[in-house]
Structure 1
Amino acid sequence: MTDADRPSDLPAAPTGAEYRRGPFREGERIQLTDPKGRMHTITLTPGKQFHTHRGFVRHDDLIGSPDGVTITNTAGVEYLALRPLLSDYVMSMPRGAAVVYPKDAGQIVTMADVFPGARVVEAGVGSGALSMSLLRSVGEHGRVYSFERREDFAAIAAGNAREFFGTDHPAWSITIGDLVDMLPQSVEAGTIDRVVLDMLAPWECLEVAYDALAPGGVLICYVATATQLSRVAEATREHGGFTEPQAWESLVRGWHLEGLAVRPEHRMHAHTGFLISTRRLADGVEAPLRKRRPAKGAYGEDSTEGGATDNGNPPQTPDDAWTPDAVGERPVSDKKMRKLVRSFENTPTAQALAAESGASIDDEPRDEADATDGVATDQD
């Protein structure tokens, strides 16, 4: 059902809902699963074919088919065709920065209580995985203000979200720049319900997050290492305007189901990151005094190899030491980033949106090596 066919007493369909039901459409990304459980994500394009070393499938045979059909390729291999769930999509979509895994995105949305209509600040954007979960939660009547230092990351995130929702989500804005500098210019103080920080040094943003949040608002940070986790917790306590922080991680282990052989899988999604959350106190209210006694040596000479400072706390790591290499992030080459950004320029979704707005499409010829449509991506 399109908006034109919808009865007048029914509200318009939420953004992207039309692309989650009905027959497969041209330009839509779908997921093919082979008999061994290997998943391949393709973009349906008239006249194209999906090839493996064992035959090929014609895209035209899938366009117009219902969700959940099977199709047999030229070599007799049967594939199950389904629309990818959001969790499937974020694991197979083009990426520059590492994505927030679905298990962590679900925790963030739930534990931060991201509700329909909420006003959420997110930094940074990465490849857009968490952004899409936040947009799904706030809906058209909410707002997601995303901040990203790197323009190429922002372009990839916007392209991924556009391909998933079928259009640019009306509740989303991406600002290029540093959160500390740009947030006060972008939102009014005390109007934000939730702040989500996915960055190297979230403790540097506590003051602007505090100013932007409404009393009772939630701040949640996603960090990769225990040293970052400790630094965020101590900085939050030192600030004094937040509740006692809570930290956790989630580990997801699948199970093998085969007759009587029911057992845990040999592989699992273990540590991906830590989550730490806290809530903004009302203006003028100080955090209640902690009554829990710290472990012996938690802030003394036993806590670090170099000993304690004069105030009894461990020496702080210099701010300039917090780099992607230092916390184990893998660098992304500039060549790959340029290729990913270009891959979104001439997708069917981008062409359709440009045609609606009257904008021109960049038809610059590309090398065969830069083509991405129809390339299979395996997902374990």
Structure 2
Amino acid sequence: MSSESAAIGTSTDPSATAAATGDQPVGAARRRGPFREGERVQLTDERGRMNTISLESGGAFHTHRGFLNHDDIIGKVDGSVVVNNVGQQYQTLRPLLSDFVLSMPRGAAVVYPKDAGQIVTMADIFPGARVVEAGVGSGALSISLLRAVGDQGYLHSFERREEFAEIARGNVETIFGGPHPAWKISLGDFQEQVVRTEEPGSIDRVVLDMLAPWECLDAVATVLAPGGVWINYVATVTQLSRTAEAIRADGRFTEPDAWESLVRGWHLEGLAVRPDHRMVAHTGFLLVTRRLAAGVTGISVKRRPSKTDFNEDDVNAWTPGAVGERLVSDKKLRRAARDAIAGTNVKDDPEITN
């Protein structure tokens, strides 16, 4: 199979999907009503310990303090309290998107909920929008984007590694209960594939989570509609700087804005109200810009930072291994892909086309 042209999980007919779910948006049925077999349920015990299980008729959840039959949960409404065979109580809730993202099978680091929320809002991802993204990783951001564009929107995701694409497909189908009608995922390099598959000026939003987004300037400028938003997620200051300078030098985009978000939880117990000792600090930088009309050159800022030369050594210094991230083995990727696919309720995989 050619990695440059393969497509995984092509979109389905929205009307057919809506009919199958009683005219509800895809995935909505899994967020309402009593617990059903195959659903994921979050169990919290009396000490606040949390576990997530997939409900199976006749199954059981075992701990050192007894077992809880899945049949005692199936049919209960969200937020019920159930008791195991020795009287241990469990609070049952459907996992939120943030819970699912942090516990789902993964082959690459996920985009944290705090960043996904910023991307959806600051890139103005709206229902019905036409969006392209790269790379997909484990599908965490894809799920947020699909929720934002809705069943009538369009999300075309590009991923270079087939194992990552399979993991993402499994995770997306698990949370939505099947293929999403707005989603298409393709294998290959974004800058090469997007101009072959998307019409010039037809895309509303571009979301890039990759090593060198500045290499995609021409591709983004080609497919992005005038006024469209391009948002980048990068890990290091040097990547952020080079992307911003490339956008400024190109002239087809507005002056870029950049930021990061930090989340600090709080400990709440009686009078002991204080910040948590741990927090989700730096995960990545976000940089956003907008496409100008054809033939228009962006207004230059009055003061510009001095230009810096970049070479191949700089790019090599930004690889996951160089910045201290643990490299993921092919064996682990294949196992994560199997785990992700096993969590779906779809018996037949979508056709993979060349």
The TM-score with structure 1 as length reference comes to 0.83
> Given the alignment, which residue of 86, 90, 98 partners 2:101?
90
**Partner SS, residue 230 of structure 1:** helix
Query: Shift of the alpha carbon at 1:267?
Result: 1.1
Q: Which residue is 2:331 aligned to?
A: 335
Q: Which stretches of structure 1, 4 residues or more, deviate above 3 A after TM superposition?
A: 2-6, 344-348
Q: Which residue is 1:105 aligned to?
A: 116
Q: Which residue is 2:14 aligned to?
A: none
Query: Shift of the alpha carbon at 1:197?
Result: 0.2
Query: Shift of the alpha carbon at 1:220?
Result: 0.3
What is the alpha-carbon distance in structure 1 between the residues aligned to residue 342 and residue 239 of structure 2?
40
Query: Shift of the alpha carbon at 1:320?
Result: 5.1
Q: Mark the runs of 5 or more structure 2 residues left unpaired by the alignment.
A: 1-17
Offset from partner CA, 1:258-296 (integer Å, 9 cap, x none): 1222111111111111000000010010010212x35xx
> Given the alignment, which residue of 314, 324, 330 partners 2:308?
314
Q: Structure 1 pair 5/272, CA: closer, same or farther in 2 (3 Å)?
A: closer
Using the aligned pairs only, state the percent identity. 64
Query: Shift of the alpha carbon at 1:206?
Result: 1.4
Matched, 1:221 2:232: yes
Mapping of 1:273-284 within 5 angstroms? Answer: 273-284=284-295
Query: Shift of the alpha carbon at 1:64?
Result: 1.2
> Given the alignment, which residue of 273, 277, 282 partners 1:266?
277
Offset from partner CA, 1:56-84 (integer Å, 9 cap, x none): 21111111111111122234322111001
Query: Shift of the alpha carbon at 1:347?
Result: 4.2
Counterpart AA for 1:57:
L
In the alignment of these two chains, the number of paired residues is: 332
What is the alpha-carbon distance in structure 2 between the residues aligned to residue 221 and residue 198 of structure 1?
6
Q: Which residue is 1:207 aligned to?
A: 218
Query: Shift of the alpha carbon at 1:255?
Result: 1.1
Q: Which residue is 2:12 aligned to?
A: none
What is the alpha-carbon distance in structure 1 between the residues aligned to residue 146 and residue 103 of structure 2?
19
Counterpart AA for 2:275:
P
The TM-score with structure 2 as length reference comes to 0.89
Matched, 1:156 2:167: yes
Contact 1:223 1:274 (8 Å CA) reproduced: yes
- Structure with greater Cα Rg: 1
Q: Which residue is 2:264 aligned to?
A: 253
Q: Say which structure, 1 or 2, has more relative contact order (CA 8 Å, 6+ apart).
A: 2
> Given the alignment, which residue of 116, 119, 130 partners 2:130?
119
Query: Shift of the alpha carbon at 1:348?
Result: 5.8
Query: Shift of the alpha carbon at 1:345?
Result: 4.3
Q: Structure 1 pair 267/346, CA: closer, same or farther in 2 (3 Å)?
A: closer
Contact 1:200 1:324 (8 Å CA) reproduced: no
Q: Which residue is 2:7 aligned to?
A: none
Contact 1:116 1:139 (8 Å CA) reproduced: yes
Q: Structure 1 pair 135/348, CA: closer, same or farther in 2 (3 Å)?
A: closer
